[in-house]
Structure 1
């Protein structure tokens, strides 16, 4: 998988990483929506029982200071306030009998709540 930083057009070794499986799922969701102008935005917001909550959503906006990374045609956008909390985080997609959905493995999270919805 080729990962490029759109600001410098150089390979990326840090920041948020989207696995091939997750990139494929995002592509299929975008195709189902009939949209090719959207990016996957990941943000960290105050909330949840552990203090911070992840937000993953499709976004057509680009804000000043956004980090934009291309993962095989899928743009992942992170705002400048969330990026320090997400450096080195990996977004994957799991589809098993026990669980289905996007997962975030974040080395910056020192703990999370029992439901896994928030972290600190």
Structure 2
């Protein structure tokens, strides 16, 4: 299932242009065209839930697939049906600054997080 842009904000994550460019660059390094970025929420961490971002070739029943970018630069983001309620409206960005580097997730559903910033509840 591919969602439209208007549905995206309501049903799944949003990938910023900077993050989409980074995902595309990482996928190009992998040299495979069958991978998509999977975003999942798993039990764990200090606050109870932990984000997982990884490349995946699988298609699971109930996956929500969103496409970001256009043409050759387009990337797909997949969220499984169990993680989707925790990620609705979350924005994934990529920071490359002296004080922070890597993917960041701004999640309006998180009511709190641990001091290390690795997990949420």
Q: TM-score, normalised by structure 1?
A: 0.91
Match of 1:46 among 43, 47, 72: 43
Which stretch shifts more, 13-22 or 105-114?
Answer: 13-22
Partner of 1:84: 85
Q: 1:37 offset after TM fit, Å? A: 1.1
Q: Indicate the SS of the match to 1:45.
A: strand
Matched, 1:116 2:117: yes
Q: 1:19-98 to 2 correspondence within 5 Å? A: 19-72=16-69, 73-98=74-99
Per-residue Cα deviation, 1:56-85 (whole angstroms, up to 9, x for no partner): 000000100000000011100000000000
* Structure 2 residues not aligned, in runs of 5+: none
Q: 1:26 offset after TM fit, Å? A: 0.3
Partner Cα distance (1:13, 1:78) in 2 = 13
Greater share of helix: 2
Partner Cα distance (1:56, 1:106) in 2 = 14
Q: 1:35 offset after TM fit, Å? A: 1.3
Q: TM-score, normalised by structure 2?
A: 0.91
* Structure 1 residues not aligned, in runs of 5+: none
Q: Indicate the SS of the match to 2:9.
A: coil
The answer as to whether partners of 2:94 and 2:103 remain within 8 angstroms in 1 is yes
Q: Indicate the SS of the match to 2:18.
A: helix
